[in-house]
Amino acid sequence: MSIPFIDLKTQYGLVEESVKTGIENVLQHGAYIMGPEIGELESRLSSYCAVRHAVGCASGTDALIMALMAFEVGPGDAVFTTPFTFMATAEAIALLGATPVFVDIDPHTFNIDPDDLRRKISDVKHSRKDLTPKGVIAVDLFGQPADYDRIEPLAHNNGLFLIVDAAQSFGATYKGKPVCSLGDVACTSFFPAKPLGCYGDGGMVFAHNDEMHKLLVSIRVHGMGEDKYENVRLGINGRLDSIQAAVLLAKFAIFPDEVAKRQAVADRYASLLADIKGLTTPTVAEGNTSVWAQYSVLAEDAAHRDQLMGQLKAADIPTAIYYPKPLHLQKAFADLKYETGDFPVCEEIGARIFSLPMHPYLSEKDQEAVAAAIRG
Ligand SMILES: *Cc1c(COP(=O)(O)O)cnc(C)c1O
């Protein structure tokens, strides 16, 4: 039997009863849209994240779009973010007519580099008369928090908002604080492969501020006012549906245990792979925790990566590259006029990185098989 990259089947075995009961409840009460499961999930997850408000929405992408809309981001605004992330992070900025301004990454955490962020904010202020610096979206790549103690003051001292893209890091902590309690607003995704996933699309926006909460609730349903046929601003159809919320309530019951199991799997990888020449295992910055959405390692270079991925494939072990092409080199962003060489750390890491099977139910035996295949 081959090793799955992510094992949602074993997980389903553990939650089957409660998922079925939850879905059956929705089918019986009939409130498919904005049923009682939405409020219940929002209240459970906001307390888990130690943040005042949570707004369930249709996807992680919609969570980002809703947050940017709440900050009235539009044409002429610059929003700083990393090019080493999933498309949605920068796409949300561009969809609203604003300009993503990319910032290089830290070579150890793969998250936005605060020193380069400082430079890029200054560049836009001093040499881009066409742009107004407006905000920062920091991404917690692979489940590890970005360097918020340095990013937050940089954002706020320059009058910029800070959005945390926690699509991969729900359940992680930064210096003891849940990541979704950081920034002005935090966004997460419940896409099935994320650490907390549903059985379709889903997402959530977290906010401390009552005013921000009201805005997000309005934007989620076409900019509604006091009732849904009064529209006081433009919004979207960004609702989470009741069935997905029921699935999430069932899965959330085992989530803290899964976070602990993911950490145990990551620790085991670290010791099994420690002495392999030319392979760099991931590190988490002191005082923080990752939820290990991916376990991503570095080969020496692209050729070495091809070789290692080939050895794993021959042993029937799946791997993946996140992300094969950084966003500044994607055709969709060609009009931003970035070139190869603009983000040297991101490009170098992108040529060396690949991800190993990672999920809470990965056995020691399977991890040993992964390590053996890498050794060759
Ligand atoms: C998955 C992901 C998103 C988008 O989430 P969806 O639910 O798929 O829309 C945004 N940002 C990052 C970093 C992601 O990994």
In this prediction, residue 226 carries a pLDDT of 87
Q: Which of 252, 270, 294 is the last residue of a domain?
A: 252
Cα(82)–Cα(96) distance, integer angstroms? 18
Q: Specify the DSSP class assigned to residue 325.
A: S
Pocket flag, ligand 1, residue 111 (CB < 6 Å): no
At 105 the pLDDT is 98
Same domain, 169 and 78: yes
Residue 167 Cβ inside 6 Å of ligand 1? The answer reads yes
Last residue of a domain, one of 227, 252, 277: 252
CA 200 to ligand 1 centroid distance, Å: 13
Residue 1 within any structural domain of the chain: no
Task: Answer yes or no: is 312 within a domain.
Answer: yes
Do 270 and 248 sit in the same domain of this protein?
Answer: no
Predicted confidence (pLDDT) per residue in 319-350, tens digit: 999 999 999 999 999 999 999 999 999 999 99
Give me the CATH number covering residue 347.
Answer: 3.90.1150.10
Do 3 and 316 meet the contact criterion of CB atoms below 8 Å apart?
A: yes
Q: What is the pTM of this model?
A: 0.98
| Terminal alpha carbon distance of the chain | 20
64 shares its domain with 179: yes
Q: Which atom of ligand 1 is nearest to the CA of 194?
A: 1
Whether 216 and 352 share a structural domain: no
CATH number for position 76: 3.40.640.10
Kindly state whether residues 334 and 285 are assigned to the same domain. Answer: yes
Domain that holds residue 310: 256-375
Give residue 179's Cα distance to chain centre: 11
Residues 282, 218 share a domain: no
Count of structural domains, the chain: 2
Report yes or no on 3 lying in a domain.
Answer: no
Same domain assignment for residues 339 and 351: yes
Give 240's DSSP letter: P
Give alpha helix (H) positions in the chain.
Answer: 8-29, 36-48, 60-70, 87-95, 114-127, 148-157, 210-220, 242-252, 255-273, 302-314, 344-352, 364-375
2 domain residue, yes or no: no
**12 and 130 part of one domain:** yes
Same domain? For 244 and 267 the reply is no
pLDDT of residue 1: 65
The answer to whether residue 333 sits within a structural domain is yes
Whether residues 234 and 273 fall in one domain = no
Segment 144-199, tens digit of pLDDT: 999 999 999 999 999 999 999 999 999 999 999 999 999 999 999 999 999 999 99
Same domain? 54 vs 197: yes
Domain closes at, from 252, 282, 316: 252
* Centroid of ligand 1 to alpha carbon of 276 (angstroms): 32
Same domain, 245 and 96: yes
Distances (CA, A) of 51 to 7, 11, 179, 263, 331: 30, 27, 10, 24, 38
Residue 286 CA to ligand 1 center (angstroms) comes to 26
**Per this entry, what is the length of the chain?**
376
How does pLDDT run across 197-238, given as a tens digit for each residue?
Answer: 999 999 999 999 999 999 999 999 999 998 878 999 999 999
CA dist 78 and 93 (Å) reads 9
